[in-house]
A and B are shown apart, each in its own frame.
Chain A
């Protein structure tokens, strides 16, 4: 099992990875990417089982990354972990093919609820 964590903040990547461990996924391989463009490269190289991505990032946003993936036929499971979760953003994310949107701040319970079905 391999998860790609995408965020321009190194601190937030660490927090997401720590929360994954706390939620019980302490044996998954984690790969990191610093923005959407980097994520596209890492997805091609690493074939992750799940992508957890921030929304607002320099170079390429998370939603642009997801749209690029789907436009090229990739069906990699993709979820957002982002600092806002308005109804409009949730709708946009779902329309683009995201499985879920976790709004920060989050807890290990939030991760278990949202990721459980995907990583079962």
Chain B
């Protein structure tokens, strides 16, 4: 069994990584406030890490948050129509970059998978959920170790 994620990362580090990603991708003036969460119902995207520590980095947002995120990242006007593909694409890219930056803080060498959206595998006991708030929307970044028997992904959509 690999080292538990709780001993490899603390909440402050995950929050700092997320804040940097938010500032660069969502907007220089966009503030991600640590705390709040978890998100009970929402949309998730995640990316896998394989190495001395294996698991997933999962981003979960409420539906309203994902819509607002898409508008912010794509710099769309509030009246512009959103395409479902773009909403998922934005969520996947945020999870992908969060995963890449979290991976860089973990023991290596390791590899990053392709981001997916849908219902993420249920976490086991090796899990670190970090809550945050953006524009009043709660969101959760969950770093979770691989379970002994990996869950199937019947509802996932691999990025295209």
Residues of A near any B CB (own CB < 8 A): 8-12, 14-15, 18, 34, 56-58, 82-86, 88, 103-107
Evaluate contact between B86 and A104: CB separation under 8 angstroms: no
Give the size category of B's interface with A: 20 to 34
Q: Which residues of A contact B75 (CB under 8 A)?
A: 18
8 pairs across A/B with beta carbons < 8 Å? A9-B96, A11-B86, A83-B97, A83-B99, A103-B100, A104-B100, A105-B23, A105-B101
Evaluate contact between B159 and A8: CB separation under 8 angstroms: yes
Q: Tell me whether A105 and B158 are in contact in the complex, defined as CB-CB below 8 angstroms, given that A10-B89, A88-B108, A88-B109 are known contacts.
A: no
Evaluate contact between A84 and B74: CB separation under 8 angstroms: no
The residue from A12, A84, A88 contacting B100, defined by CB atoms under 8 A apart: A84
Evaluate contact between A56 and B112: CB separation under 8 angstroms: yes
Kindly supply a per-residue 1/0 record for chain B positions 54-67, scoring 1 wherever the CB is within 8 Å of any chain A CB and 0 otherwise: 00000000000000
Does B7 belong to the interface (CB within 8 Å)? no
